[in-house]
């Protein structure tokens, strides 16, 4: 194994990849694909990107898992290089340590990403220690953990939004949404909750799946109660 002193300085391509990854993860809460990196950095070949990702792993800037979708993670060393500064009250905590310290968020049940499934209308109101899961701070998008909850997905109607059955979706608790936002919606008349894109069409609400063969759900505004807006998606390791 090569010593640290023998690791070469980062190339221009490698710095561009790291910078894009830091910006992308801060914006989206999960790592980019190799194709995303190609487009953003102007590198035409996925093999060239893959080569440079392996060099970044060797330089201790990335951790990489071949068993996970989007299995890339910035290391403390990379976060420090990128200047991702998150400070604690004493002003001394580095970005690396703060970004890698999990927050506790309640996992409160299932949500339908196909046909709606039943779920209590007081979602998130009651939970105990056994319901809490660890979520990395960047996935909370700067929201306080007390304003966040998680649900496990049942169904595949949001598959084109890269959300599939078994994924964990992290939400910000809120009762309103803008057109095009992905939300958890309590359908009072049905007594069910679903995960869909939200569109207010005046006399009705359209809840749009992200699946080529599935039709939208239409409900009256009085029967549509938003529970939360999607912040990020966690794909459990297989």
Known catalytic residue: 157? yes
Using a cut of 0.75, tell me whether the model's pTM lies above it. Answer: no
- Which entry of 146, 157, 173, 237 is annotated as an active-site residue? 157
Average pLDDT over residues 124-132: 61
Largest CA distance in the chain: 66
Residue 102 main-chain phi, psi, to 5 deg:
-65, 150
Residue 151 main-chain phi, psi, to 5 deg:
-135, 145
- Which entry of 13, 55, 154, 196 is annotated as an active-site residue? 196
* Res. 25: pLDDT tops 70: yes
Mean pLDDT estimate for the chain = 80
What b/e string do you get for 194-231 counting C-beta neighbours within 10 Å, with b at 16 or more? bbbbbbeeeeebbbbbbbeebeebebeeeebbbbbbbb
Known catalytic residue: 173? no
Give pLDDT tens digits for 95-109.
Answer: 444 455 677 888 888
Domains and CATH numbers, the chain: 7-99 (1.10.10.10), 103-234 (2.10.109.10)
- 3-class SS string, 141-196: CCCCHHHEEEEEEECCCCHHHCCCCCCEEEEEECCCCCCCCEEEEEECCCCEEEEE
């Amino acid at each position: 194994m090569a010593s640290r002193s023998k690791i070469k300085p980062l190339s221009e391509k490698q710095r561009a990849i790291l910078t894009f990854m830091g910006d992308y993860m801060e914006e989206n809460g999960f790592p980019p694909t190799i194709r995303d990196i190609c487009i953003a950095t102007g590198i035409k070949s996925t093999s060239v990107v893959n080569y440079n990702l392996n060099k970044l792993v060797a330089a201790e800037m990335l951790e990489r898992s071949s068993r996970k979708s989007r299995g890339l993670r910035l290391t403390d060393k990379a976060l420090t290089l990128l200047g991702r500064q998150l400070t604690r009250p004493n002003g001394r905590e580095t970005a690396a340590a703060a970004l890698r310290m999990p927050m506790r968020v309640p996992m409160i049940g299932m949500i339908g990403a196909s046909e709606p499934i039943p779920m209590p209308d007081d979602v998130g109101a009651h939970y105990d220690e056994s319901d809490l899961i660890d979520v990395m701070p960047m996935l909370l998008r700067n929201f306080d953990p007390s304003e966040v909850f998680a649900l496990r997905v049942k169904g595949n109607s949001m598959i084109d939004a890269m959300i599939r059955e078994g994924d964990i979706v992290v939400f910000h608790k809120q009762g309103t949404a803008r057109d095009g936002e992905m939300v958890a919606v309590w359908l009072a008349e049905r007594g069910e909750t679903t995960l869909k894109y939200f569109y207010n069409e005046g006399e009705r609400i359209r809840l749009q799946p992200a699946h080529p063969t599935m039709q939208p759900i239409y409900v009256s505004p009085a029967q549509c109660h938003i529970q939360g807006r999607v912040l990020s998606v966690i794909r459990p390791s297989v």
